[in-house]
Structure 1
Amino acid sequence: MSFTPFTGVDNLKRSVTFCGALVAHEDADSFKWVFTRFLPAMGGKEPKYIITDQDAGILKAVPLVFKTARHRYCMWHIMNKVPSKFGMTRDDYSDFLKKLNAIIWDEDIEAAEFDAKWEEIGREHNVNNIDWFQEMYAKRNQWVMAHCRDLDMGGVMRTTQRSESENSFFKRFETIEVHGAQVYNHKVFEEFQEEAKCSIGTCKSRGFTECDSLEVTTVRDANRDRNYEVTYCPDTLKATCSCRMLERKGILCRHVIWIYSSNGVKIIPEQYVVQRWCKDARLSKMFDCNGEATEDVDIIDGKQIAMSVMWLEIHQTVGMLMGKMKNDVDNFSSLIRQFKEKLSPLGSPLNKQQQLEKILGWNKIAMASYHT
């Protein structure tokens, strides 16, 4: 599923994530649901403006949910399309792009002045007849700085660059977490995921030194208000941390995960995947007290699964017989008895006397074992 963070700016002009959502489909209905859930998370208060790319689903969903927020387009996404729309092979491409950037990104130019210069540049470079440029000019009040001067704090954010940076930040930790989900059983993965989550928001570097092929980083853990020393070897991916969580619990700590993510390591190194915590741990050989290998667990598990499925089918069939004729019930009972005869050690069903003697025999054995 796609991760969709809502990114803004705090009072120190730093990027801040207000909330995030996971969507299975990037269509209008999904975005409408996301925006609808975003409002209660923000106390019901709409943002003054929203900056997105020109995704068709978003364009349709925004006016359905937000009534006062002004929807703006990312200037970077639009300007990134200019080369393909104008033609990079044209002789006047560089001159055109220079003039266009001069009026697009100018925060001091007035709206009327912008319109006049756009017309002049378009006429000089023969783009006024290109549909895409006509469309962008018609929507200039949604992305051009000169036409957003009236918007309170509109100059603080002009592109989705902060959001793109946030996505890049989260992706640093995504792949190693995906690998953890693939190899660990559910319970252990929950613990590993908690460490991965804490590595994002609580760990920062407080010092770095190099010694031969080793890198030693002082990692500050804000949650614990302590510093930890992490030694890392880029060649072998070997890493140790002074918190010694790996040695104590067999799971990588948040400090090592932070180091791995910072160095672009996308999977958990094989030497740090403890087999007993893995999903396939039960598939390995099992031994009795004499050291003899027992039956393969995967065969036992396969048989247990087949037995469970069989019982399910039997119960479903019996339930279906509730509304049927007695002949159907008798036929099903007959089929069961026939298969039971095949499974009988003597090749035939036991009569009542034999069944009674066998039960009494079992009871005698059980009583003897009990008294012994």
Structure 2
Amino acid sequence: MMLEDYRIYGDVLVFDTTYRTNRYNLICAPFVGINNHWHNCMFACTFIRDEKTESFVWLLETFKKAMEDKTPTSIFTNQDQAMANAIERVLPNTRHRLCIWHLEQNAITRFGALKKDKEFKYAFNQCLKGCVTEQEFEEKWQAMMQKYDLTTHSWYKRVYELKEKWCPALSRDFFSARILSSQRSESTNHAIGFKASKATTLIEFNTTFKKTTNRWRSTKKYDEFTCSKLIAFTSLPLSGMLKHAAQVKGYTQKDFEEEFGYSMATTIQMIGRTEECVFYQVSLEDKPWSAHQVNYIHESQCVWCTCKHFEASGWLRYHCIRIIHLHSVTRILDKYVTKRWTKFAKIEAWNRLKNQDPTQPYMPWSQTMMKNYYNLILKSQENKETRAFMEESFRNSPKLVEDLLDTAAQREEGAEVASDIPDVADNTQSNNDVSSASSTSINVPTILDPKRAVTKGRSKRAKGGL
């Protein structure tokens, strides 16, 4: 299920290690995404002993292999250099974004005497997430540095060097599903770790983890059912665009309705035109500083806005909706309907299950056989003869399986091949003979608790009497 979710919603990944640890101080680090109902979905979860570059490299390579080598478009992490090094090595084509929430928390500890200055905090927040263009960001950042004499401050210089990773104005060309911080991962921490403490064992955590993911999937099923049966209703007149939004998006109609309502509260001004394109300036009536330029192409009915909201989130913002509505377009163009946000996001997965060949062995068979063999091994481990029999059977089984597969392949090709597969009964008798003569002794290992790990920021995360 996690792999199916990652195939559809794996374009954005949130990976964070600032979580509560367990009895052994191991670090819990979930891989979290966002589904088409704007809820958390779990892709994977890991425990690691340390936060070194090599550990993160191994972890990301293992995750990538498990997810069929598909890499996300954007990945959000905290400000950890070891993690950044690992992402650069394993996911070189993925856009690495820093969590603004963590950046804000780190900044508070660096404000010093400026912590009580409201004007400075406002200016810093504007640089952090209030700029639309790169020019606007540069002007505000340099003005803040000059006004508060921070040009030589090492921390602010370091943050400025990383601006490509956290400044929204410099990252609007990359899809990020409107995540400006790892709030998704923070909410996962509360959802998974609410029962965890310094006394929690790995088995107890696993039980809590499975209950959490099952609860998320139950919510997902309810959302899918609701959006498939819901009748479109809106407080606004049900225009063609709203009807189409309800048809293709269902559950997201409320979000689209909100943007549509904002579009009706905007003022527009035509600032130029060519034979193919018309240029508008759109802004909210009470917020003239929110103005954006929107270009409309007549022939294709396409729009482009300086806010680049669609490129970053897959949603049309009210600037574009206003211009589309102005030109009497009653349907949302297919290119502006991002499938991962629609109620048809999992249609390929459902069709794949529906069209599955019933003659093919179903995947859970392997799980059933592993369980049966495991139970047989546990039952046999206390007796020397049964252990020897199991070992000899395993040594002979690969040869039998290969012979059966070769015979089946030859039969399919129409070749007349004499069957020389060893008789299973004779083999069983042979195994009994070997087991009676064998006296191999196997020592069952004692599994000890893992050693406590020493992690970064342990004193900050740890609570209680540790």
TM-score using structure 2 length = 0.38
